[in-house]
Structure 1
């Protein structure tokens, strides 16, 4: 849920009151007799209102996009996405019961999100606080970030040994024998379902197990800048000695300028592995290891000059005076780009905030809180949030954008994977802002419920300095305010009246130019409004541009063309012909993909919510009805299941992006490119229906067990109801009207409460709760009533 309060008290309450008063010089009380009746026959989210067409649209859309039955638009479940989806997935499922009881185990969105928050699914957290996409243990794991760029995308000469066909050139030293074997493995990249392994074994007790690589690329080597990490999957087995006898795993390297093994060209597992578990915990356990090779100055990270690494040596060494016998097994050894996504940490904190705000689960909070604190510290320490007020990605190797696409640079930071952003950019800082906002909520919740958590630390940029987390509620408020102020100043173009992505970096990535990167990133601008980053004046200018009222010189799309695809405004409004990641190969033509003039449905969430904040409920509702009209046309085209949208857009000759299973055999036929993203891997398209509770019901759970409801009711509706909602473990239905809020179908008792905020009318009135006159207070143009979380109705009546 977004923080409406940042804009509402300043500018919007007046707009709401003006809307209530109307043009006739005074608002007239018009009583409406509403009798609530629970109508749904199941326990999933359902929408009901005085507009039957609206209900049919929302309920049908929900069913198809939650993907839990045979009408699903794709088989991949909402909730099982990679970390960059997790904030959206938590928003989609947290406010209703998206559990296995209602959606089956496989499609239970909240179960997936909860398992991810506890690291029981997919991800892990490293010693710097960064949250990886996966463990990196299997050959098909995505590892620290995205599935690309990998060494296979390195057209300057990457290095990788999968050991599928043998171990040619690999040698053992110090009495180590090397051999090759294959075995069945899940997720194998080989055609016959097996994976290859290198086995290094000592024939007798020895002080080390030593494996040496062949000359990389025949002696040409691999450029260290394109290989800042080594990634390998390995385990050890001891037949003599104990894990406590082991000293460390050492990785030596040679360069084109120095073909000797030396201590200054060595990286130790215990020091530089992002995750380095004690040997006592890992005997005979596969580990996915990422070594920060670039932190060794002999390896380095120079983007302008070649530093060619030509050979590697892996040594598992016993402590002085100790000997061991056993073997080392390697599934693969690869060089790796720094594909860490700064988004991941923000996604974790934001998802935790959304999920915990609705569940009020203090036991889960105990588990999540230390993880979230470490994730925020990664932002503050490694990405310079403490120093600069906003984050930059200069610590991440090759993430800068100097305006010239080239191998090894412009690596993406999140969901928008094909676009190269500068080190300091708007997109990454939207996530940082969410992280600060989310962390503030989690700390307040922990204080409210007396949840204690042990002190946490992370490792700093050098992987040696220990940095403690020391934030307080007060310091987080200060950081949040500073972040917003810096973002408003740094990324705002007053001439164009919109936010831009950032300033291009210099050719080596160490400095910043004065040239702006601006492709009319409409979605980011709308998010800046919904998240409370844009000032009221900035928000109005952004919405005047998005609506087509105001045109910006130089844009490829202007006016009505911004909504060419009907269901959402374009992601961007200016052709991006150059700022793309080389490994993805995004075409430089307009409307070829969703990232360059295309449209994705999640933008409509931000569009509808932003309109409700700036233009009022009727403006937002008009946009929602526009999406309904599009959806009605799609239904009339006759598509069903996975072809629901496909038939409609095929008839129009418009391509759709996605990994699509055309023949329905359960296997994707390949990734297709097109300007429309609404099905397949676009899990977050379900976010559209979340605009209803956020934009119109003003639903906002607080950290103290209170659910705030602040209706923004469209003039054309008499009532609006959502059924089968969930707050603090209590199921309920919620109805709103212009002058009332009603809880119904509450079947559990609790200590929870509801805070109702209704716009203060201009006529004389009294406030009632369950028919009896109620006490209230006035705040920022609203009538505020707090009541128990039980069946009841808060209503304003004219007198």
Structure 2
């Protein structure tokens, strides 16, 4: 959960920064909307309907507020826009909200007039390094005057070296003080440094054949500084193509035991995670013939002369290039010996988002372009994070991701959206996302096979930083392993004492359970959890007391729009800067229970996972509770509306000045993630009718699944303008039937998979009046038919008057009765 990261849309004020006139990349690498009007075409956007007009009014108003297609939208004019932000941590949520919506119909006005499909463009260009690790976005340099940047790239923007409390002298340098004639203590050889630092950088003219920049002395154990980050730029006034100069860059270091620089304690640019020579496209927008800028990330802990712990580094030296000739200038934005802030979730986020947007759109160009990245990403999950060996994500390959938490610097590193809480050694979030990634990757491999899409062989550098590993997964191996992972999650993370999943298992084997409501419900929504585990978790939501919890029963829903993210007070299980800051902020109003989103706060996405989890039980009482929760959210929304806020201030008019109602996150810490940087996670609470009550999704090539769970208090639930492979469908379900219409181009290669709420094995199912056979799947009747306009009816017991035909036989007659 970002606290002070300024999100940046791909189509922001600087224009399409990835496609400047100086870039080598061509604009045909962009995905574009072919039929996007300037203003939103509401006739093409989803509409929710049911037998309750008041509920419909809420559902549609709540949804459109968050879709933000005009000035009334929560995110309109605030910078980040739903579906137009090039960060994986945002698209990780967009993959649920947006694939089934005609995004072109949302209009170009919300994207400053651009017709670029930011999501597909970002997914197809996101940087994947030589190990297969997925960056949080397409590589770009940080602003010169920031520490950590405005979005996750190599990793999360914090913690950086400035949070290393084990040293008295810094291990990083930003060069941000213009009047600093000492250049933060750096010295130069064969470089004429400017007298002052300009443009928040250390700048100089190379004046010899062996240019060197040497850092001040420091004294730091390598455990605290496993990564060295360098942002360097070359320029030439003589017409020299400076892009080749980075190949000569070399980084040296000294240690307490070996105080002189030596070749054996040095690495070239090829040691960096994303070497420019091997990945020129990732740097293309930052490099031209007369200038070239390179943000570089060196995993120093993989070098035997650096290592993971027990060695003290005392100085760095940077050789920018070898004998560049005359007229070459060099500038350093920063040099940082710092923490390993990589995220264990970005690889799965890329795979899962790419799969969902492909499976809904059927765009073969996108699939062909993104698959090499996805295969390399899967290799990293399987090998470096040990998914194949352990059937869980194990973060030992990273440094400091040990799940311990506490006040000791370097331990309990964060590794996901939950950016105060420790990640690893094993954590529920990354393993659940891995499970989804395996299933989604199997679906994409099937799509490539069925459509004869040829994907080149891909490989990555192995965990030992030497061996090269080649991708060899198949649909069968991926699906089989996904089931193994699901069973392992259900066993490893389950606490019999509390009857729910724990969040982490740390490097000492300790299990950390703070009543993580959000992740428990997400696991159920994603298909993880035995029937007994599902009932246990939902009984906890319904009032089953758990000793030690701060929130029980109705108080879990204190914030009304969603359950709390957690139910047990957490004062010491965070990454160390949060604990150190807490000690220095005695009595802070931001530390009370519920005033931090990750400690008893709430975000609307949790309400979606809850509704899906309840509807997934096939228990009428649980489905009824899901509807009760929807009506409770409607009451909250009515109070928000009555407060008179609009646009970006819609929620704030209700909460500002009323701390008893809860404190919104951003710009100050708070417990409620309702707007601003919570643009996508907050939006998920608006699609309960679609994902939970109708149960519409697609998890396989060319197959649209409908699993209706219509509450007993409603006669029907309907969603119009469901955008599936170029068609706008309407799907309606009642207690005895289901209809699909709007199919404009019936195609036999696309099919409907209907999971109908029939427990009676003798029930009769008809499609457009003709009986069809069905099979039993997980307590439901499964019917598979071609995707056409259909009306499906069912009755309990066998009428016996007609012989059922196979659902794979003659296609059902078009039309809606």
C-alpha deviations, 1:284-304, integer Å up to 9, x for none? 3211100112222332221xx
- Going from structure 1 to structure 2, the CA distance change for 1:749 and 1:735 (only over 3 Å counts) comes to same
Q: Match for residue 178 of structure 1?
A: 193
1:628-676 CA distance string (max 9 Å, x none):
22222322333333332223334462342332xxxxxxxxxxx222222
The correspondence for 2:135, drawn from 94, 118, 132, is 132
C-alpha contact (below 8 Å) 2:156/2:415 kept by paired residues: no
- Return the alpha-carbon distance in structure 1 between the equivalents of residues 116 and 715 of structure 2: 32
Contact 1:345 1:376 in 2 (8 A): yes
- CA drift of 1:279 comes to 9.9
1:153 shift after superposition: 2.9
- Rate the CA distance shift 1:421–1:795 in 2: closer, same or farther, 3 A: same
Which residue does 1:740 correspond to in 2? 737
CA contact (8 A) 2:405 2:574 kept: no
Pairing partner for 1:545 from 540, 548, 566: 540
Partner of 2:586: none
The residue that corresponds to 2:265 in the other structure is 265
Deviations along 1:614-634, one digit per CA (max 9) or x if unpaired, are: 244323222222222222232
Equivalent residue of 1:235, what SS? strand
Secondary structure at the residue paired with 1:453? coil
205, 208, 226: which one aligns with 1:228: 226
Question: Does residue 518 in structure 1 map to residue 533 in structure 2?
Answer: no
Report the counterpart of residue 504 of structure 1 in structure 2.
506
Which of these residues, 644, 657, 682, is aligned with residue 650 of structure 2?
Answer: 644
Is 1:711–1:757's contact at 8 Å kept on the other side of the alignment? yes
Residue of 698, 701, 715 corresponding to 1:704:
701
Q: Which residue is 2:248 aligned to?
A: 248
- Equivalences for residues 648-667 of structure 1 within 5 A: 648-649=654-655, 650-651=657-658, 653-659=660-666
For 2:752, the equivalent position in structure 1 comes to: 754
Q: Among 787, 791, 794, which residue is 1:793 paired with?
A: 791
Looking at structure 2, the residues matched to 427 and 279 of structure 1 have their Cα atoms a distance apart, in angstroms, of 30
The answer to whether the 8 A contact 1:381-1:461 is kept is: yes
The CA deviation at 1:156 is 3.6
1:146-189 deviation per Cα after TM superposition (whole angstroms, max 9, x unaligned): 1211233334443333333253543433x443336777xxxxxx
- Change in 2 beyond 3 A, CA 1:364/1:545: same
Q: Please give the secondary structure, in 2, of the residue aligned with 1:311.
A: strand
Q: What pairs up with 1:558-637 in 2 under 5 angstroms?
A: 558-584=552-578, 585=581, 589-614=592-617, 615-616=619-620, 617-637=623-643
Q: 1:82 & 1:263 partners in 2: Cα distance?
A: 38
Instruction: Kindly indicate whether the alpha-carbon contact (under 8 Å) linking 2:405 and 2:413 is maintained by their aligned counterparts in 1.
Output: no
Pick closer, same or farther for the CA change 1:56–1:155 going to 2, 3 Å. Answer: same
Distance 1:759 1:778 in 2: 12
Equivalent residue, structure 1, for 2:718: 721
- Tell me the residue number matched to 2:550: 556
Which whole-Å CA distance do the structure 2 matches of 1:630 and 1:688 have between them? 13
SS at match of 1:779: strand
CA distance in 1, matches of 2:116, 2:184: 47
Contact 2:254 2:316 in 1 (8 A): yes
In the other structure, the counterpart of 2:305 is 298
Post-superposition offset of 1:340: 0.4
Q: After superposition, what is the alpha-carbon deviation per residue over 1:339-396, rounded to whole angstroms, capped at 9, x for unaligned?
A: 0011111111111121111111122111111111111111112111122111111211
Label 1:347 to 1:593 Cα distance change in 2 as closer, same or farther (>3 A).
Answer: same
Please state whether the residue corresponding to 1:743 is helix, strand or coil: strand
**Residues in 2 aligned to 1:658 and 1:418: alpha-carbon distance in whole angstroms:** 14
Unaligned runs of 5+ in 1: 1-39, 184-193, 506-511, 660-670
2:668 is aligned to 672
Q: What is the CA–CA distance in structure 2 between the aligned matches of 1:453 and 1:579, rounded to whole Å?
A: 44
- Give deviations 1:262-319, integer Å, cap 9, x for gaps: 12211221134444425988653211100112222332221xx56132232324236x
Match of residue 23 from structure 1: none
Change in CA separation of 1:260 and 1:87 when aligned onto 2, cut-off 3 Å? same
**Which has the bigger relative contact order, CA under 8 A and spacing at least 6?**
1
Alignment of 1:354 with 2:356, yes or no, is: yes
Could you tell me how far apart the structure 2 residues matched to 1:114 and 1:449 are? 20
Cα distance in 2, alignment partners of residues 782 and 704 from structure 1: 22
1:797 shift after superposition: 6.0
Q: CA contact under 8 A between 2:250 and 2:319: conserved in structure 1? A: yes
The answer (yes or no) to whether the contact 2:405–2:576 under 8 Å persists in 1 is no
The 1:110–1:674 alpha-carbon spacing in structure 2 relative to 1, beyond 3 Å, is farther
State whether residues 188 and 214 of structure 2, in contact with CA within 8 Å, keep that contact through their aligned partners in structure 1: no
- Partner Cα distance (1:56, 1:109) in 2: 31
1:77-104 deviations in Å (ceiling 9; x for gaps): 1131632232221110111212265464
Structure 2: distance between partners of 1:246 and 1:624: 57
- SS of the aligned residue for 1:583 comes to helix
User: Runs of 5+ in structure 2 lacking a partner?
Assistant: 1-40, 144-148, 583-589, 800-817
Q: Give distance in 2, aligned partners of 1:146 and 1:475.
A: 32
Whether the 8 Å contact between 1:43 and 1:97 is mirrored in structure 2 is yes
- With structure 1 as the length reference, what TM-score do the two structures score? 0.83
Instruction: Provide the rounded CA distance (Å) in 2 between the counterparts of 1:589 and 1:731.
Output: 47
Q: Structure 1 residues 102 and 246, CA, compared in 2 at 3 Å: closer, same or farther? A: closer
| Native 8 Å contact 1:230 1:336 kept in 2 | yes
Q: Aligned pair in 2 of structure 1 residues 434, 109: CA closer, same or farther (>3 Å)?
A: farther
Shift of 1:767: 4.2
TM-score of the two chains, using structure 2 as the length reference: 0.81
* Residue 77 (structure 1) aligned to one of 69, 74, 81: 81
Q: How big is the shift at 1:777?
A: 2.4
Match of 1:33 in 2: none
Partner secondary structure for residue 475 of structure 1: helix
Question: Structure 2 vs 1, CA of residues 754 and 309 (structure 1 numbering), >3 Å: closer, same or farther?
Answer: same
2:201 to 174, 196, 201: 196
Deviation of 1:258 (Å):
2.6
